[in-house]
Amino acid sequence: MNLENLHTSTLEKLFGAIDLRIIRQDEDVRIVQLNDENGISRTLGIVKFFNIENDLLVEVHEKILEGGLLGKTLFDSNINFNKKFIGTLQVKLPQWLKNDFDTEQDSSFAIISKISIYNDRLSNDKLLYSELIEIIPPELTDVFIDKTKQLENISLNVLSLFKSANLEVIKLDKES
């Protein structure tokens, strides 16, 4: 993955240094906010981890759990990974997130993606490391949303991640 394509790199170009604040974290799920230098949240991230016991990932995963930015930590650790964009969903913003995003808008978009780790730099053998939801403030929609399409279906796994953060998906036709 190219460093320039990382979500945090885009935020840093727009707002300067980005800090990570862990809201909730356990072995499988992590909820974080990416905040700018003024303390305004620029992303709410919800991550579900998989395959964390893989020899390639044990040390790197520990750095991430200690507060490292997911993509940057993988990149800085020379882990060969791919972030596949799945789609976007519209979400209702609860008052606390509206306050943290410094917005009056009632909804915004979540970008759904998966991060796969290549076991060997010379092969296509890969394993799923995480499913990731990045909820962005409404004013950043034009910056990020053109990467993916609006999802019509959502897996129960991803839906459970929204529920773990007490967030409500808007305009979801059906579950898959």
**pLDDT value of position 176:** 40
How many domains are there within the chain? 1
Q: Assess if residue 163 is contained within a domain.
A: yes
Q: Assess if residue 176 is contained within a domain.
A: no
Q: Assess if residue 48 is contained within a domain.
A: yes
**Positions in the chain whose pLDDT score sits under 70:** 1-4, 120-124, 146-148, 152, 171-176
Cβ atoms 52, 115 nearer than 8 A: no
Q: What is the CATH number of the domain that holds 162?
A: 3.40.1410.10
Q: Assess if residue 79 is contained within a domain.
A: yes
Q: Assess if residue 23 is contained within a domain.
A: yes
**pLDDT value of position 163:** 87
Q: Assess if residue 71 is contained within a domain.
A: yes
- Name the β-bridge partners of 112: 87, 133
Q: Assess if residue 80 is contained within a domain.
A: yes
Handedness of CA 40, 31, 137, 144 (dihedral sign): positive
Cβ atoms 112, 133 nearer than 8 A: yes
**pLDDT value of position 4:** 60
Cβ atoms 10, 141 nearer than 8 A: no
6-9, long-range: CB within 8 Å, 24+ apart, which pairs? 6/71, 6/72, 6/75, 6/83, 7/34, 7/43, 7/71, 7/111, 7/134, 7/144, 8/34, 8/69, 8/71, 8/72, 9/72
Which single residue is written with the structure tokens 């620029």?
A: 42
Q: Assess if residue 165 is contained within a domain.
A: yes
Helices in 19-104 by DSSP H: which ranges?
A: 58-65, 70-76, 95-101
In terms of residue numbers, what domain contains 48?
3-171
**pLDDT value of position 165:** 86
**pLDDT value of position 37:** 95
Which single residue is written with the structure tokens 């990382």?
A: 6
